[in-house]
Amino acid sequence: MKLIVFVLFSLITTFAMISEANTKRDYLNVVDFLNIDDMRQTMLAAGEHGLDPKKYWTDAMEDFYWQGGAWSPQLKDRANENYLTLLQHISMGVVNPEDVGVDVKMDKKGFITAKQLQVLMLAHGTRAQPLLNGMAPKTPQYLGLKEALRKISVQCNPTTWPTLPSLKKEVRLNQRNPALPAIKERMRQYGYRIYTTDDLMDNATVDAVKDIQEMLKLRGDGILSNDGKTFRYLDQGCEERLAKIRMDMEKMRWFPQQFDDRYIFVNLAMSYFTLIDKTGEKPYTMSFRTINGRKERKSPTMVDKIVYVVINPFWVVPPTIFREDKVEDIKKLQPWEISEYFSSKNYEVWNSSFTQRVDPTTIDWWNLNTNDDDQYFIRQKPHTGNALGVLKFMMTNSFAIYLHDTNMRELFVENQRLLSSGCVRVEKPLDLAEYLLMGTPWTREVIDRYTAKPGEVLEAETRVALKSPVPVYMAFLTSAMNSDGVIRFVDDDYRQNARIERLGNW
């Protein structure tokens, strides 16, 4: 016992001598206390987090290790450097999100200080693997992806993940096909609750097919055909599946290590909204569909927070939509049709400072310099036909990205919901507003009373501040494993994975 105390005291004393300058040497002095065998095993296990072990513990290091180099200072120095790199990658990500593209509005995270690292290392018993796990993301999304990676990895070989046999003909409910046992086994590998692996297309199999069809943004008819997208989804190679999961794990490393006890997460790729609140006696969740930015006007990966709700919002047409949509629509009109166009949509034109309304018929729309984005603004008055619907959930970013209602709620039944111009339309705006304004005078009844009624056009909007901001995390995740245990995939419509893979040299 005295020896343990002495060793711990010696470590603390030595760590206290490390410079506060946080140079690379400061960090290397901290990790130098780790055992090389422990570090080796940890770096070789980096694949659990979707990282390539050989980038940290190289083949050359392994050869030298077995040739008697385990006690070599040179090998220990290299191991220290590579392990520190692994800690940085697991904490901040391999790729700098600032380099990915305009659809990622995130700064690169900072690394902890050398002093914080030494405290963490002591807390984890001066062991490499617990320290690494302690610095890895703890968000449900990351942990789900990590488990999905594990489940598919252990099955990823030609024996357990073979090419599926051909169906020959389409299969419907209660029909039999000799290819179904292998197909049903593959569904079980994805986590679907398939109770028998016989040749019958039963209800559980049809439900799984419909779920996959939703991921593929197809009409869910529950029919399997050999040349259909659903069959190709199931027959996708496991290596391709693992690659998607790895890219999505990388995206989640850009976010905070842990989310708040109350937060909103929007999966942009799957067009889905989830709210989690663990602040009460019982956890509260809310989930529904969203409509997100189309390929040409992508909704960004970002971190923000909702600070207030706007009831009956004005819609100020964003510059891109003004240039590419509205002005082009107006140019197709005859001069005498302009006034009717604006009045029928409850549009107004304002000057750049919003101090004066402008008669739209006095503007030469056909020769307008649309490169001057702020020359004029089009604003739509609050009403049920407003593009933002009757509710807007305002965030703090400078990109004019927020959550809102819509006047086209019928689109939520579509599986393909990458349809907006960048903002996120929410399926249940009244439910969300009621939750966010809980504890204020703005009950559901009051909100309903204030919102515009059909045929009513208003001249003002109402802003209501939240009692406390609610964090919002938005990410384009092409894979996920939720609480039902099913591993799901969607297409990389934004081509974000390809960019991350190229930047990270995976």
Q: Is 116 helix (H, G, I), strand (E, B) or coil?
A: helix
pTM of the model: 0.92
pLDDT at 19: 40
From the centroid of its chain, how far is CA 169?
37
Could you give the CA distance from residue 207 to residue 204 in angstroms, rounded to a whole number? 5
Residues linked to residue 380 through DSSP beta bridges, in sequence order = 315, 347
pLDDT at 31: 97
Q: 315: which 2 tokens?
A: 């819609």
pLDDT at 413: 94
Q: What is the mean pLDDT of the chain?
A: 93
Spans of the chain, pLDDT less than 70: 1-21, 370-374
How far CA 472 is from CA of 75, 256, 264, 287, 452, in Å, comes to 44, 12, 5, 14, 27
Kind of pairing between the strands at 262-267 and 462-475: parallel
pLDDT at 352: 86
405 close to 390: Cβ distance less than 8 angstroms? yes
Q: 63: which 2 tokens?
A: 């050869």
pLDDT at 68: 86
Residues linked to residue 63 through DSSP beta bridges, in sequence order = none
Q: Rounded to the nearest 10 degrees, what angle do helices 73-92 and 238-253 cross at?
A: 80
Strands across the sheet containing 315-316: 315-316, 376-380, 347-351, 357-358
pLDDT at 134: 96
How far CA 157 is from CA of 127, 145, 239, in Å, comes to 32, 20, 9
pLDDT at 96: 97
pLDDT at 218: 93
485 close to 189: Cβ distance less than 8 angstroms? no
Q: How far apart are the first and last CA of the chain?
A: 46
Short-list 328, 321, 499, CA closest to 420: 321
Q: Which residue has the tokens 């703090």?
A: 396
Q: Percentage helix, strand, coil, to 5, in the chain?
A: 40, 15, 40
Dihedral (Cα; 48, 50, 55, 57), 10-degree rounding: 0
Domains and their CATH numbers in the chain: 2-136 (no CATH), 180-236 (no CATH), 259-314+386-475 (2.40.440.10), 319-380 (no CATH)
